[in-house]
Amino acid sequence: MRRLVLEFDVDDIARFLGEDVKKVDSMEAVSILKEGPDEVVMILKARLNDPANKPGTLHFNVGEKIQVLDQSIDGTYTLFWKGKPINRRKSFWKGGGYLTTPYEIRNGKLKVTCLGNAKEVKSFLKFVEGTGVRFKVDLLTDARFSLDSPLHDLTEKQRRILTTAFNLGYYDIPRKTSSDELASRLGITNQAFVMHRRKAEKRLLSQIIAES
């Protein structure tokens, strides 16, 4: 798998995400719970430029829902954020791949990370180029998983199938996508998808049970 990190000026990305993005002093996606062509769900930590501004008053043109989970003394908010991507972003997911961390705003810069195979990363890069927003490639490298990560012991194909299924809501209740849809997206047969998914799940469960 490949990891691509792009950097944007917040002033440039504002015409794509909305002017309210300029009100954010810093932001970090702690966890991307779900992302796809119809819905994105994240846990964020954010600070605003003006203490008078409140997270619930911000709008990024994606029909979002923002819920404040916590606020620290220094003015940092922990937020539950759910939104529907604007139509222009739907073309990204047609090529596969998905967003991951780091996804953050610091010092007037927005960093966005895409994880996928070489073809999927290329598709994401082509999509971004098509928006006309200026950017620079901050990092393009093989994705590596730490020795402590359960994903480290999976094959690359198993990791790709399992992470794609998770990010697109296959394990949600109710399911947001089917095995047929995921197989088509991954360019494999449904039978191959089910076989690799089950092998990955068995390997992970074996680790968990062995350590319990």
**150-211: CATH number:** 1.10.10.10
What's the whole-model pTM score? 0.67
For the beta carbon of residue 39, count every other beta carbon within 10 angstroms.
16
Helix (H, G, I), strand (E, B) or coil at 163: helix
Cα distances (angstroms) measured from residue 207 to each of 152, 154, 196: 12, 11, 17
CA within 13 Å, CB half, 107: 1
Ordered alpha helix ranges (H), the chain: 10-17, 87-94, 118-131, 156-167, 179-186, 190-211
Give pLDDT tens digits along the chain (212 positions).
778 899 999 999 888 778 888 899 999 988 887 776 677 888 899 999 988 888 877 776 556 788 889 988 888 999 998 887 654 455 555 556 777 888 899 999 999 988 877 888 888 888 888 888 899 998 887 766 555 566 667 787 888 888 888 877 888 888 888 899 888 878 889 999 999 999 988 888 887 777 65
Q: Where are the domains of the chain?
A: 2-142, 150-211
